[in-house]
Amino acid sequence: MEKTLLLIKPDGVTRGLTGEVLARIERKGYTIVDLKMVTATEELLGEHYVEHREKAFFPDLVEYMTSGPIVAAIVEGARVVEGVRSLSGSTEPTLAAPGTIRGDLGRDWGTGQIENIVHSSDSPESAAREIALWF
Ligand code: GDP
Ligand code: MG
């Protein structure tokens, strides 16, 4: 069965949205097969976000992702990679569709910083790589 990595980012954990996010995953029929709380290091984030490491927003992303604990989950199900991306919604909270996690719960502070609650793997290959990094 396919697996994906879901991260509830520090804004989601700090705002008490862990249960809300996990409930949405479970209500969709996916199975949480592993779960833990982690504090990310810059080194781990550099590996996780390797495609963004050289981008201008990377320092802000590291600050955001190290601002508190993260809840990491391995989620299993049929076409779960696509499915959890779909439940997550598009990157920018302002543009993410209502009904998605980011559309319903994410925040844009208007300062260039966005808080979009979750990460989810974008392909089965990314999922395998990211699960190995976080678990
Ligand atoms: P995702 O796959 O939908 O999470 O989006 P990306 O892979 O494009 O970016 C990874 C994460 O970096 C996003 O979820 C945001 O938290 C952050 N991010 C992406 N683009 C920007 C940006 O332009 N500014 C800031 N501050 N953060 C960004
Ligand atoms: Mg991405």
Q: Judge whether 129 is annotated as a binding position.
A: no
Q: Judge whether 28 is annotated as a binding position.
A: no
Residue 121, classed as helix, strand or coil, is: coil
Instruction: Give dist(CA 135, CA 117) in Å, integer.
Output: 20
Rounded to two decimals, the ipTM of the complex is 0.97
- Note if the pTM is more than 0.90: yes
User: 31 to each of 44, 80, 130, how far by Cα in Å?
Assistant: 25, 10, 18
Q: Which domains does the chain have, with CATH numbers?
A: 3-134 (3.30.70.141)
Burial class (CB in 10 A: 0-12, 13-18, 19+), 106: buried
Question: Closest residue (by CA) to atom 24 of ligand 1?
Answer: 57
Question: Closest residue (by CA) to atom 6 of ligand 1?
Answer: 91
**Among the listed residues 5, 75, 16, the one whose alpha carbon sits nearest the alpha carbon of residue 40:** 5
Does residue 112 line the site of ligand 1, with CB under 6 A? yes
Q: What is the pLDDT along the chain (135 residues), one digit of tens a residue?
A: 999 999 999 999 999 999 999 999 999 999 999 999 999 999 999 999 999 999 999 999 999 999 999 999 999 999 999 999 999 999 999 999 999 999 999 999 999 889 999 999 999 999 999 999 999
Query: How many angstroms does the Cα of residue 120 sit away from the middle of ligand 1?
Result: 11
